[in-house]
Every structure is written in C-alpha cells, then in structure tokens.
Amino acid sequence: MSSSFGGRVVSGIQNGATLEMKKGKANVPPQMRGQYKRQQEMAQMQQQMIEASKPGADGLPVFNLFVRTKKQNIWYPCGSFKGDERSAALAKSYADGGMLAGISKKQLDGGIAGSLYSDLAKLKETVCRAYPQLRKARDEFEFGYKLAFDGLPEDKAKEIVPVEPKEQKGPLDGIRNIFAKR
C-alpha cells in the first residue's frame, strides 16, 4: 500500500485490533497529544535559543544575558541579543587584548547597560514568568552577560560580566564612562 506522502503505510491485525503506523506522524495516545505537542515546542524553542546564543557567519557578537538575585549566586539565562558593527569592532579590540582592550570593554559594558535600562521593566516581567522562584526578589536582580564572539579567548568567553542597567545620556557621559574607575 502506498500513500500520497511517499512513505508506506503498514497495517496489521493483532488480537482483533488494527494497528496502523504512518511515516512522519507520532504514535502518541490521544490523552497525551497536548503534552507531546508542548514538549515538541519546548525542544524547538531550546534549539532556537542555542542557535541564537552563538555568533553567526556575519561575524557580529552575541551578548547572552543572565540574571541572579543578590542572595543567590546562581546565574539564570534570560535571553540574548546580537550586536552591530560598532560592537563587533569593540569586541574584536577586546578579544585582541591590545592597548585599548580595557576601553573597549568599558564601552561594551556601557552599551549593554543602556540596552538593559531601556527595557528593564519588560525584562524583569519576562524573567519572573520564566523563573517564578525569582518573583519575590524582583527588585534585587543583578544582570550579567557573556560575550560570544569568534576569536575571543576561552577564559573571556566563559566569564559572566556583571553589569548595572544605567541610562545613557550623551557623548560626554560616554567619554566619562571610558575613564571611570571600577
């Protein structure tokens, strides 16, 4: 027997019941189909998150965000975003470890702090939905990021850098940020 999807339908009779197996369809009992569908969606979302946390072929850096509370020392992943050409140049300078690596690092930190500040309320809501155990400590969140960039040394790639969400005001504040002591 052949079907329209190009596979074969195999049927058999065993103890008076008809058994049909189809190519491409999951053989899941009716009462578990909702759960099976949710598991498939979660696996797909997990795969997308893994792909989004790695730098692509375009060479732009990816900033993987993490959150923790002041009491707990456990970092929870809470998203990622891709940088632009400017952040790619700063990440390259930081990765090379030259004379301007420290300044590049501070500018990267400042850019991420500004991005976090602009969407802070929405980000906190998303984190609380994803991690209900953090809901009580909503006002005590600490954020950090890992830089994913081709050419970044292994020790720098594994490090989660804490960053405080701050409003970026103007170019003079950017210059002040470069020379600020931490």
Q: Which residues contact 76 (CB under 8 A, 6 or more apart)?
A: 66, 67, 68, 127, 130, 131, 134
d(CA 97, CA 92): 9
pLDDT of residue 13: 52
pLDDT tens per residue, the chain (182 residues)?
A: 444 444 444 444 555 555 555 566 677 777 877 888 888 877 777 777 666 666 666 778 888 899 998 888 889 988 888 888 888 888 888 888 878 888 888 998 998 999 889 889 999 999 999 888 988 988 899 999 998 888 888 888 888 989 998 887 655 555 555 555 54
pLDDT of residue 92: 87
d(CA 49, CA 54): 9
pLDDT of residue 9: 45
User: In DSSP terms, which residues pair with 146 in a beta bridge?
Assistant: 64
Question: Can you give the pTM of this predicted structure?
Answer: 0.65
pLDDT of residue 28: 76
Structure tokens at 90: 């700063």
pLDDT of residue 52: 60
User: In DSSP terms, which residues pair with 143 in a beta bridge?
Assistant: 67, 163
Place of tokens 């993490």: 66
d(CA 113, CA 109): 6
**CB-based contact 62:148 (threshold 8 Å):** yes
